[in-house]
Chain A
Amino acid sequence: RKEVEQDPGPFNVPEGATVAFNCTYSNSASQSFFWYRQDCRKEPKLLMSVYSSGNEDGRFTAQLNRASQYISLLIRDSKLSDSATYLCVVTGNYGQNFVFGPGTRLSVLP
């Protein structure tokens, strides 16, 4: 089993739609969790950290369920500019390693 798994996608949604991505991780000792965004042929960039109590940043909401070992990302009112690959990232003990999921590709269609 891979350490971090994500919905394979691609997700093709119309503008204005709400879309949710899930991510599961296998290491129960994982300490920190993030969502990164990667545009085609570009470097990954931090979208948001994921806090235990859940957190929201504008149209983006991240949730963490430690008991079930999954993380989710909800995007409301999708924009064309949201089209990208979304990477789930989990860190191990004391942050010596960041483990990346394979990514879920999102295409927002006009």
Chain B
Amino acid sequence: DADVTQTPRNRITKTGKRIMLECSQTKGHDRMYWYRQDPGLGLRLIYYSFDVKDINKGEISDGYSVSRQAQAKFSLSLESAIPNQTALYFCATSGGGYWDRGSSSTDTQYFGPGTRLTVL
């Protein structure tokens, strides 16, 4: 079974509709993230959460909201979808690792399979 799952995998919706994308993880990680990916722009961070009571805006949070229902669940909502929110959305988790100056962190991110969202 996959460690990070996303539902739905594909979604087509109309402008103005409310959409929720869900992410679940079995890795036991505290940190969870939502990204969107657009051709030529790479991955951009929407929101991130370091624990259930900690939610932070990322680079492009306008038009999105999130909910951290439990350590293992992190949902992304589009309150009123618009066409320029058409993109590939990824959820990711990380364990935090440790930080040792002069060497590399042990932290890495693990991604879900993505949700392809089309807003007409």
A-side interface residues toward B, CB under 8 Å? Answer: 31-34, 41-46, 49-52, 87, 89, 91, 94-98, 100-103
Contacts and interface: CB of A to CB of B under 8 A. Distances in A.
B105 A31 contact: yes
A50 B105 CA distance: 9
A52 B104 contact: yes
Interface string B69-113: 000000000000000000010100010110101111101111111
23 contacts: A31-B99, A31-B105, A32-B107, A33-B104, A41-B114, A41-B116, A43-B112, A43-B113, A44-B43, A44-B109, A46-B109, A51-B104, A91-B107, A95-B94, A95-B96, A95-B97, A96-B50, A97-B45, A98-B33, A98-B45, A98-B109, A100-B43, A103-B42
Interface of B: 33, 35, 40-45, 48, 50, 56, 58, 88, 90, 94, 96-97, 99, 101-105, 107-114, 116
A43 B111 contact: yes
B113 A42 contact: yes
Contacts of B114: 41-43
Contact of B108 (A34, A42, A100): A34
